[in-house]
Chains A and B, each alone.
Chain A
């Protein structure tokens, strides 16, 4: 599937009682399949909301979100749930592994939503854990793994279904510098070797430096959109 991402005039407003809180205000954005994009900005700038919209966890108040052929704003909750399971891999800051399951069982979870034989699932889990360098930790529970290893398992869980897009919310936010670098190198590998489109929310400029493109959000608008290495800033399209 084509995994180009296009957001047009996206508004997102949260309501708390009678108070309306605008989070995204008419955002336009295009991301081409295979890009590694970092999203930066201060707290409340709307970067996590943007990630949730692109991951089908939320729908815009106005505007359209297209991922490949899917128009997310037209889908109901059930359709979005099914779409997420097939097209998006999620990586969270705190990994969110199930503590009572082994690394392999955690990675297998998304595959349970597919009609797939146990042997095929096992094969895919082994491959995913091999990609993240944890083939020898399959039977370990999360509490038997380091933070970096837990995040690797979470990455294996995100890629095991071979999704079009990987969404990472502060994937290095809870890790030390050395481990962060390992995780970022792994994301780079998934982008360059496996052609995955990656969108990463981060506060850390060093982490953002690993992306090919960096979006700077502020108060719900795209303030800057720059290409790493080329230092080519483009005017935000509003």
Chain B
């Protein structure tokens, strides 16, 4: 049977300084890990919320995003024959030609720096096709007018996007558009966009070709045959499900994950040494105690477990405190410049259950690895020698 937990717990307070410093270090490691992961989780969540598995996005072959794709009417004509396209209440095929451009808008902060914001020219059908988009204030724009609706995240972060405000758009920023509605899109990347009538955007920017075409399917299961048709010789364009498209756009999170992995590995190794140092000190100062425990019948395994448990207590508590500190960042809005679309996307920092589990796993790994060698030394204590030295 193992030694009682109270034995481990009270021993933590015997060498307060050494234990305290190790505790602090592991807390910092967990905190940094949780904050960095909350960035990537936030971006991933924002982009993952954007795509629908029933929607297929069609781009020019070779283009990485809508901003680098141009589709001619000749190229998109045959899309109407794609198998499985859904129809709206009026029996019209749900195909949305969309035009993506960028504009510079000042931020709301004191400096008022300009940010690149995506402007999406769409037709009425886009509101039905992008199911997450929901007008929450005002109304939709009228087709053929200089009206826009703005995403909630864009409205919160950029100036002059309140209902009734006017913003300058167009190639020469010479067209005044009135904000007539605000939409939410489930925290997705679209909430960082401004939507306007496609024909007017095309005219203002002198871009009369679509960037992308989005097709709504009757069922997500039909995505395979539909994409086979589009990617095949009949149409010869590139198509992906929206989910896959936005997942690819979240490539920046991979950089954050790599950075996190490198940083946390280095910090984690440091923490392992700190834990090992503390536990070695604990073992050396308790050699007689260990010898006594072995003498009265505690096995080597029990002794090892006792020291590993002690280390896990330090790291487990540090993990809880580190995670609690990282929660102060949870829900904070940030934005990042997408390297695929060159527009700013807003996202919320998220401390997710996955982050909690990762942090817990890291703390436990640091605790176990750090304690292993000292615990082994404790278990191998030469009982008679230790008793003699007493």
Q: Which residues of A contact B (CB under 8 A)?
A: 48, 52, 55, 57-58, 78, 81-82, 84-86, 90, 92-94, 96, 98-101, 105, 109-110, 112-113, 157, 169
**Is A84 touching B6 in the complex (CB atoms < 8 A)?**
no
Q: Which residues of B contact A (CB under 8 A)?
A: 1-4, 6-7, 10-11, 13-14, 288-289, 291-299, 383-384, 387-388, 390
Return B313 CB to nearest CB of chain A, in Å. Answer: 13
Given contacts A105-B4, A112-B4, whether A96 and B289 have CB atoms under 8 Å apart is: yes
Closest to B11 in A: A100
Given contacts A100-B7, A101-B10, whether A110 and B384 have CB atoms under 8 Å apart is: no
In the assembly, what is the distance between CA of A48 and CA of B4, in Å? 31
**Is B292 touching A96 in the complex (CB atoms < 8 A)?**
yes
Contacts between chains A and B (CB distance < 8 A), count: 65
Given contacts A82-B297, A84-B297, A85-B297, whether A96 and B390 have CB atoms under 8 Å apart is: yes
In the assembly, what is the distance between CA of A151 and CA of B257, in Å? 58
- Indicate the member of B4, B289, B295 with the most A CB atoms within 10 Å: B295
CB-defined contacts of A99 to chain B, threshold 8 Å: 14
**Is A81 touching B289 in the complex (CB atoms < 8 A)?**
no
CB-defined contacts of B294 to chain A, threshold 8 Å: 81
Given contacts A96-B289, A100-B14, whether A109 and B6 have CB atoms under 8 Å apart is: no
CB-defined contacts of A94 to chain B, threshold 8 Å: 288, 390
CB-defined contacts of B384 to chain A, threshold 8 Å: 52, 57-58
In the assembly, what is the distance between CA of A23 and CA of B278, in Å? 38
CB-defined contacts of B11 to chain A, threshold 8 Å: 100
**Is A157 touching B288 in the complex (CB atoms < 8 A)?**
no
CB-defined contacts of A52 to chain B, threshold 8 Å: 384
Query: In the complex, given contacts A94-B288, A98-B292, A101-B7, what are 13 additional A-B residue pairs having Cβ atoms less than 8 angstroms apart?
Result: A48-B388, A52-B384, A81-B294, A81-B297, A85-B297, A92-B387, A100-B11, A100-B14, A105-B7, A109-B3, A109-B296, A112-B2, A157-B296
Closest to B294 in A: A81
Return B389 CB to nearest CB of chain A, in Å. Answer: 10
From B1, B13, B14, B390, A113 is in contact (CB under 8 Å) with: B1
In the assembly, what is the distance between CA of A98 and CA of B290, in Å? 9
Return B291 CB to nearest CB of chain A, in Å. Answer: 8
CB-defined contacts of A93 to chain B, threshold 8 Å: 390
A to B CB contacts below 8 Å, 7 in the list: A58-B384, A84-B295, A96-B289, A98-B289, A100-B14, A112-B2, A157-B296
